[in-house]
Amino acid sequence: MTPQEIAQRLITVAGSPKLTETLLSLQQELTIEVVNALMMETLGVYKQDAAKALLIATVMEKVSYHMKVAQGEAQALAISMKAAALNEFGRYDEALDLYEEAERFFERQQSWRRVIALRINQVAVLRNLGKYTDAIQLAQDAQKMLEKSKEPLNVYQATLEINVAWAYKQVGNLEAALAAYQHALAINLEMEHAIKAASVQQDMGILLEEMGRFDEAESLFETAKNTFFSMEQWQEVARLELNLGILAFRRAQHQKALGHLEISRTGFAELQNKSEVAFVDLYRSHVYLELNLLDEAIELAVFAEKLFRQLKQQWPRALVFINLARAYHRQGHLSLASQFYTKVRRLLNQLSAKPMLRQVDSERAALALDEGRIDTARRIGQRVLKQLDQKKEPLLLVRIWHLLAQCALLQVNPNLDQAEKYANALLSLIEQVGLVDFRADAFYLQGQIAEKRGAVLLAKVHYEESLTAVTILRQSLSIDELQINYMVNKLPIYEAGIRLLHDHFRG
User: Does pLDDT of 238 surpass 70?
Assistant: yes
What's at 206, amino acid-wise? I
The pTM for the full model equals 0.56
Q: Are 199 and 237 in contact (CB under 8 A)?
A: no
User: Does pLDDT of 358 surpass 70?
Assistant: yes
How far is Cα 367 from Cα 339, in angstroms, rounded to an integer?
Answer: 11
Length of the chain: 507
Segments making up each domain of the chain, as ranges: 1-110, 435-507
Q: Which pLDDT value is given to residue 144?
A: 84
**HEC profile for 416-469?**
HHHHHHHHHHHHHHHHHHCCHHHHHHHHHHHHHHHHHHCCHHHHHHHHHHHHHH
How far is Cα 444 from Cα 153, in angstroms, rounded to an integer?
Answer: 57
Element (H, E) at 84: helix 71-89
Alpha-carbon radius of gyration of the chain:
27
Q: What angle, rounded to 10 degrees, do the helices at 92-108 and 71-89 form? A: 160
Q: Is the alpha carbon torsion for 191, 85, 95, 238 positive or negative?
A: positive
Least Cα distance to 197 among 173, 151, 174, 230 occurs for 230
How far is Cα 377 from Cα 408, in angstroms, rounded to an integer?
Answer: 11
Report CA-CA distances (Å) from 44 to 12, 105, 233, 399, 484: 16, 24, 10, 44, 47
Least Cα distance to 203 among 257, 165, 259 occurs for 165
What are the pLDDT digits (tens) for 412-421?
999 999 999 9
Q: Are 110 and 147 in contact (CB under 8 A)?
A: no
Chain centre to alpha carbon of residue 307:
16
User: Does pLDDT of 260 surpass 60?
Assistant: yes
Q: How many CB atoms neighbour CB 177 within 10 A?
A: 25
Q: Which pLDDT value is given to residue 363?
A: 92
Domain spanning 435-507: which CATH class is it, in words? mainly alpha
- Averaged over 116-121, what is the pLDDT? 89
How far is Cα 477 from Cα 246, in angstroms, rounded to an integer?
Answer: 17
Q: Which pLDDT value is given to residue 501?
A: 47
Least Cα distance to 261 among 247, 288, 242 occurs for 242
DSSP state of 111: -
Q: What angle, rounded to 10 degrees, do the helices at 194-210 and 234-250 form? A: 20
What are the pLDDT digits (tens) for 54-105?
999 999 999 888 887 888 999 999 999 999 999 988 889 999 999 999 999 9
Q: Which pLDDT value is given to residue 150?
A: 66
φ/ψ of 36, rounded to 5, equals -65, -40
- Averaged over 194-204, what is the pLDDT? 93
User: Does pLDDT of 290 surpass 50?
Assistant: yes
For the chain, how are helix, strand and coil distributed in percent, rounded to 5?
85, 0, 15
Higher pLDDT, 4 or 212: 4
User: Does pLDDT of 505 surpass 60?
Assistant: no
User: Does pLDDT of 337 surpass 80?
Assistant: yes
DSSP secondary structure, 1-37, as one string: --HHHHHHHHHHTTTSTHHHHHHHHTGGG--HHHHHH
Q: What is the mean pLDDT of the chain?
A: 86
Q: Is the alpha carbon torsion for 155, 157, 161, 167 positive or negative?
A: positive
Q: Which pLDDT value is given to residue 154?
A: 72
Q: What pLDDT band is residue 478 in, cutting at 50, 70 and 90?
A: low
Q: Is the alpha carbon torsion for 106, 111, 117, 119 positive or negative?
A: positive
- Averaged over 214-236, what is the pLDDT? 95
Q: What pLDDT band is residue 476 in, cutting at 50, 70 and 90?
A: low
DSSP state of 48: T
- Averaged over 137-144, what is the pLDDT? 85
What are the pLDDT digits (tens) for 11-63?
988 888 888 888 888 888 888 999 999 999 988 888 778 889 999 999 999 98
φ/ψ of 304, rounded to 5, equals -65, -40
User: Does pLDDT of 141 surpass 60?
Assistant: yes
